[in-house]
Amino acid sequence: MVESIIKTLKFPEKIIAKLDVDKLTLTGPKGSVTKQFKTYRVKLTQEGNKIIVEGIVDNKQTDILVETIVSHIKNMAEGVMYGYKIELKIVYSHFPMSLQIEKGTVNIKNFLGEKFPRKAKILGATKVESKGQDVTITGVSKEEVGQTASNLELTTKVRGKDIRRYQDGIYIIANKNMEENKGKIVEVVRGRE
C-alpha cells in the first residue's frame, strides 16, 4: 500500500490564490488564470495564500495525479507572474502568404495559392500579432498559448504534396516567457505546513 501524498504550495505576495470547491483562480501582475481540477482522487484546500493538494485514494495513480495537478498549478503561477510567449515564422517559397487576425480566428490567405483562406482558432485571452514574416503569440495560460500556436502550425500543414519541395507553412521557432524568468515562483513542500 502506498502512503497518501500531500503537497503544500506556497505563493509569493504578488500572486493571490482563490479556491472555490475544485476551481482554482490565480491572479498576478500579468492577469488571472482559472482552472478546474475535478477528480474524486484528489482534494484541494486553501490556507491563506497556500494551496494543499492531498491524494484521497492510496494508490500509484493518485500519486501521479497529485504531481500532475502540482505541475499545472506551477504553470499557472508562472503565467500570471511572467506570461508566456511563442514566436513563429511564416515560410513560403511559391505563393506569398498573409495573415488576417480577426476576433477569435486567424485567417491564412493564399496558402499554396488556395482561393479560400484557412482558419486557425485563437483560444481564450491569447493575443496574436503579425509583423511581416514574424508571428508572436502571448498570454498567461500555457495551455491556451501552446494550443493556439499548434493550431496555426497544423492549419498550414502541407498534405498531398512533396514536403521536400513544398516547405510553406507557419513554424514555431521560440518558446519562452514574456519577461525574464527569475527562478522558482512556487515553493512546494511535501506534507502539510
CA distances 163 to 59, 154, 178, Å, are 47, 14, 33
Topology match between the domains 6-83+181-190 and 84-177: yes
What is the structure's pLDDT at 12?
A: 92
pLDDT digits (tens, 9 = 90+) for 43-53: 999 998 899 99
**Averaged over 150-176, what is the pLDDT?**
88
- Give the DSSP letter of residue 48: T
> Nearest 5°: CA angle at 96, between 90 and 99?
55
pLDDT bracket for residue 192 (50, 70, 90): confident
Q: Is the pLDDT of residue 152 over 60?
A: yes
Least confident residue range of 11-15, 162-166, 171-175: 162-166
Q: Is the pLDDT of residue 3 over 60?
A: no
Class of domain 6-83+181-190 (CATH, top level): alpha beta
Tell me the domain boundaries of the chain: 6-83+181-190, 84-177
pLDDT bracket for residue 57 (50, 70, 90): confident
CATH number assigned to the domain with residue range 84-177, chosen from the 4 options 2.60.40.650, 3.30.499.10, 3.90.930.12, 2.60.40.10:
3.90.930.12
